[in-house]
Amino acid sequence: MTSRLLFFFFLFLCTVTTLVSTVSGALSCRKSCGDIPINYPFGIDKSCGSPQFSGMLNCSSTDLYFVTPSGSYKVRSIDYDKNTLVVFDPLMSTCSTLQPNHDFKLSDIQNTLIRPSYDSVFALLNCSNDSPLHNRYQNLCFSTAGHSCDELYSSCTSFSVFNTTSPNGNNTERATPNCCFTNYDTVRAMSMSVLDCSHYTTVINDGKMKGAVPIDWSYGIELSYSAPEIGCNACDKSGGTCGFDLETEIFLCQCPNNITTRDCGGVSDGGSNSTKANYATLFLVMLVSFICAIL
């Protein structure tokens, strides 16, 4: 009777050990993609970072992409001190390249957590005379660092194709189509088809646009994000990596010994009672695994 109870007891421990090993081993978080560091709230592996930001970043080989309903946008940099992320749309028009038009869209949760900052300027080009931006919603257009849209038409090779000529007596004069510098809220509220503009480009007004020609502007989109504080700082300082449980989305801290706890108990400063307890747990798991192998 006693031997049978011991057998089922160790069988139970084997099952628990398997589950612990599965949970512990499932959480493996890469800390970079190419030369871009990946820190909380972002993650490129399952269970890593914040659950609210899960699936927003994708690491393809050495390139990092920000994924939205309208496409994947290459990430150029992430500033964790300023909570900003700069992305570039490879299919977006620039001063030197004209691309087919498409909308820039974010999901509902992205619109709440990570959205273009007010330094991100959307230049809408080749807008018709009937565009609402030049009728009912003229106030949505503004000047950017003293520049006008005409500069894009006159100095950019790609946008010069929108220029047309119209007769003026015995002469002809150049006619430039309507355009508009605006912010993200405009393109979020109205699609490019509703705005009646054929193309757009985005520029980051980082204080360096004044006096600079369009070819030298910083093309891209700066996103500002807000991350919930759930104890990640303590996890980082203890030598861990912030993550979460896939089923419950409860915060977990991935430690060097692969045991997920609230923090790593001071791994970075030489260890503590919590760390010793983690290693004791790991030893127990290994011991039970050895017994299971014998059984």
Listed range (43-47, 146-150, 170-174, 240-244) with the worst mean pLDDT: 170-174
Q: How confident is the model at residue 292 (pLDDT cuts 50, 70, 90)?
A: low
Cβ atoms of residues 83 and 63 within 8 Å: no
Q: How confident is the model at residue 276 (pLDDT cuts 50, 70, 90)?
A: very low
The predicted structure's pLDDT at residue 267? 47
Asked if the model's pLDDT at residue 27 lies above 60, the reply is no
Cβ atoms of residues 34 and 64 within 8 Å: yes
CA-angle at 289, arms to 283 and 294, nearest 5°: 130
In DSSP terms, 203 is beta-bridged to 121, 219
Mean pLDDT of the residues in the chain: 80
Asked if the model's pLDDT at residue 122 lies above 80, the reply is yes
Of 176 and 13, which is predicted with more confidence?
A: 176
The neighbour count for residue 95, using CB atoms within 10 Å, is 20
- What mean pLDDT comes out for the span 115-135? 92
Most confident of 17-31, 154-168, 256-270, 272-286: 154-168
The predicted structure's pLDDT at residue 293? 56
- Whole-angstrom CA distances from 80 to 71, 193, 225, 281 are 24, 36, 10, 34
Residue 97 gets the label, from left (phi > 0), alpha (psi -120 to 50) or beta, of beta
Assessment of whether the complete model's pTM goes beyond 0.95: no
| Tokens, residue 180 | 């508009």
Asked if the model's pLDDT at residue 56 lies above 60, the reply is yes
List pLDDT tens digits, range 176-212: 778 899 999 999 999 888 999 988 999 999 888 888 9
The predicted structure's pLDDT at residue 287? 53
Helix/strand/coil for 288: helix
- Name the amino acid, one letter, at 231: G
The predicted structure's pLDDT at residue 22? 38
Cβ atoms of residues 216 and 204 within 8 Å: no
| Tokens, residue 151 | 């500069």
Of 295 and 53, which is predicted with more confidence?
A: 53
- What mean pLDDT comes out for the span 105-112? 94
